[in-house]
Structure 1
Amino acid sequence: MYQQTIERFCNQHKTIKNYIDDLPPEAIYRRLNPDKFSIHETIAYLTRYHHVFMNRLHMIIQDINPYFEVYKPDRDPEFRFTCAKSTGSLLHEMYRVRDELCGFLQAIPSEDFARIGIHEVLGRMTIDQWSEFFLLHESTQLFKIFKLAGSFWSMESVLHSNVIHLPLLSNYLDELAV
């Protein structure tokens, strides 16, 4: 695995804190668009996907060419529980699992990086390619958080609400969403 990829893998997620540090709770928990995730829900999605990705890596190492469907939170019973946690708790969990992922990737023997996992849409990918996919997917979600944070401050009239919105299961965010 390229050193730049490992560095991105071990650090890219840390920018979330910079995006949300100065936001009030209503900016984090409220959906600006009823059909799109809030910042909190997006962080919950990213946190849950860390666990999904770790599981996929283990399966790629253990099995021959395992097949993976597109991850959809509305089909994942654990996502609701993840979403119910506080944002601070989610960030703590994400950092912890990310450290585990970094250690796992750095400990994989070089010959195992050629092992294949088959994605429902993207097809055959090596562990290197799965790692790049994870980072690209995460960067898309980070950009969404960045835009949502900016949108909150640029709104002319902000409706303050302390209601935490759980995801609408019929409107899911999948890992290929743009």
Structure 2
Amino acid sequence: MNLQDHTTERFLNQHKTIKSYIDDLPPEAIYSRLSADKFSIHETIAYLTRYHHVFIYRLKSIIKEVNPFFEIYKPDYDPEFGFSCAKSTGSLLHEMYRLREEICALLEKADEECASRVGTHAVLGRMTISQWTEFFLLHESTQLFKIFKLAGSFWSMKTEQHSNVIHLPRLTNYLDELAV
């Protein structure tokens, strides 16, 4: 499929920024919710990983069916989301990288005829595969910004709230090895 070069570049690399956002964080910063009603960093990564599965399903449906309809994805109604949350952050990143490659292969296989195929989103309406890919990237970037803000918020909290946190630089290859 012929996506625009800048879209392809973002699709190949955008998700890789997560590692730089969380590299120096202790586990309590990744796994703890800073607000009871908002996802933790780990839960947001689980959500992004799970959404890769949802996107693959949607792409395959658009390729096989005539204008399939998709509701808004809500993790609260997805029984698989709990299983994603139960995984470690490293394994989620590894899975996300693998799924990203799978999506890339799926998009590469889609010929020009598939490019004109559409699927309808409950809120965003009718979109081509190219538009669905752009939506995926925009949605992902919103989640990446949430992770970025949560990581910064952890360190900006009052010192006494995490005075028992030992800040050690992480082994740089640890997540790389799991996420590649």
TM-score by length of 1: 0.88
Q: 2:161 aligns with which of 158, 161, 164?
A: 158
2:35 maps to which residue?
A: 33
* Runs of 4+ in structure 1 over 2 Å off: 157-161
Indicate if the aligned counterparts of 1:152 and 1:158 stay in contact, CA closer than 8 A: no
Q: Does 1:19 align with 2:21?
A: yes
1:172 maps to which residue?
A: none
Describe how 1:35-114 pairs up with structure 2 within 5 A.
35-114=37-116
| Identity %, equivalent residues | 71
1:143 maps to which residue?
A: 145
1:170 maps to which residue?
A: none
Distance 1:160 1:116, change over 3 A: farther
**Rg bigger for which structure?**
2
Counterpart-to-counterpart distance in 1, 2:31 and 2:162: 12
Alpha-carbon offset, residue 158 of structure 1: 2.4
Mind listing any 5+ residue stretches in structure 1 that lack a counterpart? 162-178
Counterpart-to-counterpart distance in 1, 2:70 and 2:96: 22
Alpha-carbon offset, residue 103 of structure 1: 1.6
Alpha-carbon offset, residue 111 of structure 1: 2.2
Alpha-carbon offset, residue 10 of structure 1: 1.1
RMSD: 1.4
TM-score by length of 2: 0.87
Higher helix residue share: 2
